[in-house]
Structure 1
Amino acid sequence: MEWQDFIIGVVSTLFAYALFSSGREDEHDPIIQENDEDEIEVHDFQSRYVKLSCQSCRKLKKHKEVKLNLFQCTKCKRYVDLRVA
């Protein structure tokens, strides 16, 4: 009985670790390089997803970053522009 309790404890610990560590997959830092003119270029932002409030859906929905600080709702395809004018 002692080995069964030990194996069940190890399996449940591994399951809990896998459950809580899977939330880190969405974190993706873009590659940022600075030019000589103090401008910043972002080279990898096509796979960045952010939860924003969509005005058409009226709910928190997942938005895909199309350009730097320009997001598109994955459900209704409405654009949300967060760029500085």
Structure 2
Amino acid sequence: MSWVNYITGGMTVILAYAFYAVGIDNEEEEMGIEEENVVINDLSGRHVTLSCQTCRKLKKHKEVEPNLFQCMKCKRHVDIRVS
């Protein structure tokens, strides 16, 4: 076998490992940290699953302000703050 085959095989292994390593990082980010049925994906806000009145389905909502959530699909606000 020639050197071209060895180099091609080595590059294939390196590329496969790179795709595998990136896939592991993305899965960890998607899982997030779970606390009391709340998934925290980043420090800027938290994501919860609430019933959206516009979509009429359970959708993910992003926290805009403390206890004020915004639907990720239709952008409708859900206010669960104490009046």
Give TM-score scaled by structure 2 length: 0.51
Higher helix fraction (1 or 2): 2
The residue aligned with 2:8 is: none
The residue aligned with 1:25 is: 32
Aligned pair count reads 52
Higher relative contact order (CA 8 A, sep 6+): 1
Higher strand fraction (1 or 2): 2
For structure 1, the residue ranges without an aligned partner over 5 or more in a row are 1-17, 29-43
The residue aligned with 2:5 is: none
Q: Per-residue displacement from partner, 1:38-85 (whole Å, max 9, x unpaired)?
A: xxxxxx5x3300000000000000000000000000000000000000
For structure 2, the residue ranges without an aligned partner over 5 or more in a row are 1-23, 35-39
* C-alpha deviation, 1:26, in angstroms: 4.2
RMSD, aligned α-carbons: 2.7
1:9-24 aligned within 5 A: 24=31
